[in-house]
Structure formats: C-alpha cells, structure tokens
C-alpha cells in the first residue's frame, strides 16, 4: 500500500522530557480543510520541543532505524522509562478503506559492556536507548469489511515474538523455525535500539509468511510513511546553519522513483555529495526557485557542479557549491542571512506539503530568522490551499492572526497536562490578543504562563552587575 495516505491524528506523551503527561488531537474540529496544521505555542521550557522530539522517535521507529543514545536523556528524571502513543489514519484510495491505527512504544536507558575479554569489571560501558513494550492496534472502515479496534501486535511478553496468539498463528503460522527467527530478531532489535515490529527482520518474515493482505498493506503503508513521507526538522538544523552547513530536506519523485531524505551541504567550502543525489539536488533547487523568487523578490539559488570526487567510502561523489543569484550577481550562499538559509532549508518540504496529501512535516521553531509577516502569509496559504500535514512550534505570534484557531494549541505550566486548546474563543476574537489576555488574567482551566515579576527581574539584573564588580 505504497500509495496510502497516512496522517498523524493524535499523540499521547508520558514522562518524556518535561512532559509528565500530555495529549494532543491534531484534527481541526472547527472547520474542514484538506490540509492538516498544528501550531504549538507556549513559553520557553514548556514542552514544545518535546512534541517534535516525540515525532522524531516515531520516524525512527517506523523506518527501522536505531534510536540515538541521547534519547535516553529525554526520559523524565523522575521515571525509569517514557511512553508515547501515536494515533494515525492510513487511507487507501484504491480500495476505499481507512485504517485507524494506534502505535505505542516505550524507551528506557540501557548500557552495553564494551566487550573486553580481560575479565576486569572496569572495562567500561556504553549508554544506549532501548525500545520496548511496542503495541500496535488497528480498526478498519472499508466498503468490503469493517474491523473493530483490536490489538494486532503486542510485543510485551518476553517468551514470544508477540501476542495475541490467534493473530500470531494467522500471520506467522506455527513454524518453529520462524518462531525462533522472530525471537532472535526481537532481541537483536533491542540491542540495536530499533523497533522490533518495524525492523527489517520482522518485515521480511511478514512478507514471506502473512497471507492476510490487509495486515501486510497496513504495515507497508506505515513503513513507507516513515521512510519517505515523514520529515522532522529539529533545532539541530539551526545549529548546523550557524556552523556554515545547510541541511536541505527534500521529498520528490522522478520516473516512478521516490527520493527522500536530507543532504548536508557545506557553505564555507564546496561539498561532496553522493553522485546519485546530484539529480535530486538539482530538481529540488529548480523547484524551490519557482517559489523563492516570489517570497524574496529577485533572489534565486543555484548549484555549481565542480566535478567528481571520491567519498570517504570510495563511492563516486559530486563536488558542488550553493550560490545565490541576486541583481544579476552570483555569490556563495554562505553570505546570505541566517533567515534566508533557514527558509531555503525547509522550502522544498513546504512545497511538497502544499501539493501532496501524503506528506507530514514537523518543524521545531519554524519562525527562527523568518520575517513574521512573510511567515504568517506562508502559513495562511498552506492552510487554505495545501493538501499535506504540517506540525510546527513557534514563538512568533503572527500565525495566531492568520491561521484558523482550530490549527493552534498551547502548552501549559502543568507538567501533568501539558497541551490544551483555548476554550471560549469566539469567531470574532483575535487569537493573538486572546492569548495575551489569558496570560495576564488566567481564564483557562490550566495556566499557560508562569508569572514573572518585573521588579524582581530588574533587581536580579542589578545584583548580577554588582557581583561583576561594576
């Protein structure tokens, strides 16, 4: 089901970073739109980035990739594990069927011995993040058959690959060899910080043994989504820009071949990228220029092909440099502003969101370096005419005036109820002004701002200066 349209419908977070508990429904219940947008607002340190990091965990799990060890630091200090539950819809236009899917996964800290054979106990360990407790439930609403919500895979028992037993026998069969292979794959996934049910090993067994087409279609749709249609842009991208490196995320198709991923291009010197990525970069740049010249009048970017060069693994590579063209002058892109670089780094994904319903993009601090009026207009256009899904965090409040209030959520000061929608907002209300008013008056069921005292802030500045000897 590679043509499936997958949407993230909800997320439930427990003990993840500073979120003791938080739940968000991404559906706009106020109006019907083809696009799906969720903008999350709140003060610093209130759980906005936690949402983006939780979506990055989903991307890594669905694509069968190892979860980096720093995710172990995301577990709340008061808990030994964190749990995230995702609600997704998987629609197959060809068969007029819609799957409702819930995927739950937990992470915990773990360590591995470095494996020295000296017999000493001080040989050292390495830290890692371990995924466990995966549960996948589904329901189906189709023209031919309907299925109530039920568990498809529950990996929590240690003595078997998954339960329920009836589903196991239906999908895998009763082969002892297959059962052994799955248990080995389960343990291997654990030691390599990967999802088991979306691992290459489990998917291969599923493809070889599963006779129930709808199960395989469902899993293939989710795997395709994680690998080619879900993009998560974290603040690490901004850090790379500050270090003269531009990560360009892209998703495009050419001659029935899907290209998706991210290419890191150096700005202070020419970059060497895989030879097979060169055509994708050229196509992405050409696409971006169509929109870029409208967003920043007179500006386009180009790719200078400087010849071939071997990569570190001896594969053939292409040596390129990004340049900007403005007023008939061509200069290295490194001399453009950080805001221009940030816009370029995400522009291709915004283009894809506008045109394709199967794309989901999550961006942390979307507003960083982008002129607020332009940001508001871009989001307004995507919300009205776009077809994909955009999830973002921002400190800039301009989008509160341009987006439908059904697209906006807020963080609270309560770690056990981190995410809310504002109540009692009338259609005539300016959401930006309404939010400011609630910060001052606190009219919601949860506080959205931890109060500060201007006199105490002023005194703190003075005391800090006195300690500095001035």
Q: Are the CB atoms for 83 and 104 separated by under 8 Å?
A: yes
DSSP letter at 44 equals T
Q: Are the CB atoms for 55 and 362 separated by under 8 Å?
A: yes
266 and 374 in a single domain? The answer is no
pLDDT of residue 440: 80
Please provide the DSSP assignment of 141-157 as one string.
EESS-EEEEEEEEE---
Residue 398: pLDDT over 80: yes
Residue 174 located in a structural domain? yes
Asked whether the CA dihedral 207, 210, 211, 212 is positive or negative, the reply is negative
189 and 214 in a single domain? The answer is yes
269 and 393 in a single domain? The answer is no
Residue 414: pLDDT over 90: yes
173-202: average pLDDT: 94
Residue 102 located in a structural domain? yes
Would you place residue 251 in the very low, low, confident or very high pLDDT band (cuts 50, 70, 90)? low
pLDDT of residue 461: 85
> What is the extent of the structural domain holding 330?
235-354
Residue 106: pLDDT over 70: yes
Would you place residue 111 in the very low, low, confident or very high pLDDT band (cuts 50, 70, 90)? confident
Residue 333: pLDDT over 80: yes
44 and 163 in a single domain? The answer is yes
Residue 368 located in a structural domain? yes
Write down which residue in 354, 389, 423 finishes a domain: 354
Write down which residue in 354, 375, 406 finishes a domain: 354
Instruction: Tell which wins on pLDDT, 134 or 304.
Output: 134
CA distances from 268 to 163, 300, 328, 334 (A): 53, 19, 22, 6
458 and 323 in a single domain? The answer is no
Closest CA relative to residue 267, chosen from 284, 250, 246: 246
Residue 383: pLDDT over 90: yes
Quote the crossing angle between the two packed helices 176-191 and 200-209, to the nearest 10°: 160
Q: What rounded mean pLDDT belongs to the chain?
A: 87
382 and 302 in a single domain? The answer is no
Instruction: Tell which wins on pLDDT, 235 or 332.
Output: 332
Residue 425 located in a structural domain? yes
pLDDT of residue 118: 58
pLDDT of residue 122: 55
Backbone angles phi, psi at 283, to 5 degrees: -65, -40
Q: What's the predicted TM-score (pTM) here? A: 0.89
116 and 33 in a single domain? The answer is yes
pLDDT of residue 310: 85
338-342: average pLDDT: 81
Q: How far apart are CA 275 and CA 200, in angstroms?
A: 26
Residue 300 located in a structural domain? yes
Please provide the DSSP assignment of 341-407 as one string.
HHHHHHHHHHHHHHH-TT-EEEETTTTTTS-HHHHHHHHHHHHHH--SEEEEE-S--THHHHS-GGG
Q: Are the CB atoms for 362 and 48 separated by under 8 Å?
A: no
CA angle 454–409–431, rounded 5-degree value: 65
260 and 374 in a single domain? The answer is no
Write down which residue in 305, 322, 354 finishes a domain: 354
DSSP letter at 272 equals E
Residue 449 located in a structural domain? yes
126 and 255 in a single domain? The answer is no
Residue 415: pLDDT over 80: yes
Tell me what percent of the residues of the chain surpass a pLDDT of 90: 47
398 and 272 in a single domain? The answer is no
4-11: average pLDDT: 95
202 and 327 in a single domain? The answer is no
Residue 286: pLDDT over 80: yes
pLDDT of residue 221: 94
Instruction: Select the highest-mean-pLDDT range: 120-129, 165-174, 262-271.
Output: 165-174
Residue 256: pLDDT over 60: no
pLDDT of residue 146: 85
12 and 145 in a single domain? The answer is yes
Domain count, the chain: 2
Q: Are the CB atoms for 403 and 37 separated by under 8 Å?
A: yes
Residue 359 located in a structural domain? no
86-95: average pLDDT: 87
Structure tokens at 33: 């739109």
172-192: average pLDDT: 92
For the ranges 102-111, 157-166, 239-248, 335-344, the lowest mean pLDDT is seen at: 239-248
Q: How far apart are CA 418 and CA 420, in angstroms?
A: 7
Neighbours of 355 (CB within 10 A): 13
Residue 195 located in a structural domain? yes
Would you place residue 45 in the very low, low, confident or very high pLDDT band (cuts 50, 70, 90)? confident
């Amino acid at each position: 089901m590679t043509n499936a349209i997958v949407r993230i419908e909800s997320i439930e977070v427990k003990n993840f970073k500073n979120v003791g508990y938080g739940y968000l429904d991404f559906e706009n219940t106020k109006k019907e739109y083809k696009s799906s947008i969720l903008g999350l607002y709140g003060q610093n340190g209130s759980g906005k980035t936690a949402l983006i990091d939780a979506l990055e965990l989903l991307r890594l799990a669905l694509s069968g990739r190892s979860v980096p060890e720093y995710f172990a630091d995301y577990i709340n200090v008061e808990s030994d594990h964190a749990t995230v539950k995702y609600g997704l819809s998987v629609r197959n236009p060809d068969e007029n069927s819609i799957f409702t899917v819930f995927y739950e996964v937990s992470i915990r800290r773990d360590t591995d011995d470095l494996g020295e054979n000296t017999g000493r106990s001080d040989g050292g360990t390495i830290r890692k993040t371990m995924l466990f407790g995966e549960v996948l439930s589904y329901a189906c609403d189709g023209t031919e058959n309907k299925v109530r919500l039920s568990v498809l895979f529950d990996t929590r028992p240690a003595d078997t690959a998954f339960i329920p037993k009836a589903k196991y026998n239906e999908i895998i069969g009763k082969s002892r060899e297959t059962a052994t292979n799955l248990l080995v794959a389960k343990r291997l996934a654990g030691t390599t910080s990967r999802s088991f049910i979306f691992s290459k090993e489990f998917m291969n067994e599923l493809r070889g043994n599963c006779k129930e087409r709808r199960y395989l279609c469902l899993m293939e749709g989710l795997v395709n989504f994680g690998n080619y249609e879900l993009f998560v842009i974290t603040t690490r991208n901004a850090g790379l820009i500050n270090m003269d490196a531009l990560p360009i995320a892209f998703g495009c198709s050419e001659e029935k071949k899907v290209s998706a991923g991210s290419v890191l291009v150096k700005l202070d010197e020419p970059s060497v990228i895989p030879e097979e990525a060169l055509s994708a970069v050229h196509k992405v740049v050409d696409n971006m220029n169509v929109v870029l010249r409208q967003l920043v009048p007179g500006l386009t970017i180009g790719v200078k092909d400087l010849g071939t060069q071997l990569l570190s693994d001896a594969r053939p590579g292409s040596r390129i440099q990004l340049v900007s063209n403005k007023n008939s002058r061509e200069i290295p892109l490194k001399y453009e502003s950080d805001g221009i670089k940030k816009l370029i780094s995400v522009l291709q994904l915004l283009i894809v969101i506008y045109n394709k319903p199967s794309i989901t993009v999550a961006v942390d601090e979307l507003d960083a370096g982008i002129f607020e009026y332009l940001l508001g207009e871009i989001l307004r256009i995507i919300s009205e005419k776009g077809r994909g899904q955009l999830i973002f965090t921002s400190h800039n409040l301009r989008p509160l005036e341009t987006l439908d209030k059904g697209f906006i959520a807020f963080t609270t000061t309560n770690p056990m109820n981190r995410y809310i929608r504002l109540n009692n907002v009338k259609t005539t209300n300016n959401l930006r002004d309404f939010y400011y008013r609630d910060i001052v008056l606190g009219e919601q069921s949860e506080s959205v701002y931890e109060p500060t005292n201007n006199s105490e802030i002023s005194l703190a500045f003075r005391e800090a200066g006195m300690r500095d000897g001035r």
